């Protein structure tokens, strides 16, 4: 049964091929396609701009360095006003007291550190992967 259907289908295709003629593209077919390609190539693409620009990174870096360097160069021997603050008056003191008795085992600390390192490695590999994949 399949052979008869195949023969009928083949006969139908042969009949259709005999009735139709070979189509040829117009004379300016190549120039029409190339003009469309040029329009696509010249389209306005939004250029890449980082979320945080270089001047902002430089300013943040200078602020951090300045904050760390100020006490080294301009520190005084005067007493600080921080010891005068009574911590028991602060509302979060009870919360701190509840969590102050927590003890973390070495195994827990090691696992958190290893997790953080693996997470950082994975992020760097994913960044490289997507940079390669998205670059044209």
Across the chain, which has 136 residues, the per-10-residue mean pLDDT values are: 83 86 82 79 71 92 90 68 65 68 86 95 90 78
Task: Tell me which residue of 118, 2, 20 sits closest to 10, measured CA to CA.
Answer: 2
What does the pLDDT read at residue 37?
A: 77
* Number of structural domains in the chain: 1
What does the pLDDT read at residue 102?
A: 78
Residue 109 lies in a domain: yes
**Taking the mean position of all CA atoms in its chain, how far away is CA 88?**
45
Q: Give every CB contact of residue 87 below 8 A, 6+ residues apart in sequence.
A: 93
What does the pLDDT read at residue 15?
A: 87
What does the pLDDT read at residue 136?
A: 59
Whole-model pTM: value is 0.30
What does the pLDDT read at residue 60?
A: 94
What does the pLDDT read at residue 67?
A: 87
CA distance 56 to 53: 5
Residue 120 lies in a domain: yes
DSSP letter string, 73-106:
HH--SSPPSGGGS-GGGSTTHHHHHHHTT----H
Residue 106 lies in a domain: yes
Residue 110 lies in a domain: yes
What does the pLDDT read at residue 71?
A: 76
Place of tokens 């997470």: 119
CA distance 88 to 90: 6
Q: Which structural domain range is residue 109 located in?
A: 101-136
Residue 118 lies in a domain: yes
Residue 113 lies in a domain: yes
What does the pLDDT read at residue 77?
A: 58
Residue 115 lies in a domain: yes
Residue 35 lies in a domain: no
CA distance 63 to 102: 35
């Amino acid at each position: 049964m399949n052979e008869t259907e195949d023969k009928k289908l083949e006969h139908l295709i042969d009949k259709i091929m005999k009735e139709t003629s070979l189509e040829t593209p117009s004379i300016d077919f190549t120039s029409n396609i190339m003009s469309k390609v040029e329009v696509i190539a010249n389209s306005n693409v939004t250029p890449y701009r980082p979320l945080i620009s270089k001047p902002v990174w430089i300013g943040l870096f200078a602020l951090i360095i300045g904050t760390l360097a100020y006490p080294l160069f301009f520190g005084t021997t005067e007493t600080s006003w921080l010891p005068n603050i009574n911590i028991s008056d602060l509302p979060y003191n009870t919360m701190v007291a509840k969590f102050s008795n927590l003890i973390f085992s070495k195994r827990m600390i090691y696992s958190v550190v290893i997790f953080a390192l693996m997470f950082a490695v994975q992020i760097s590999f994913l960044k490289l992967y997507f940079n390669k994949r998205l670059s044209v």
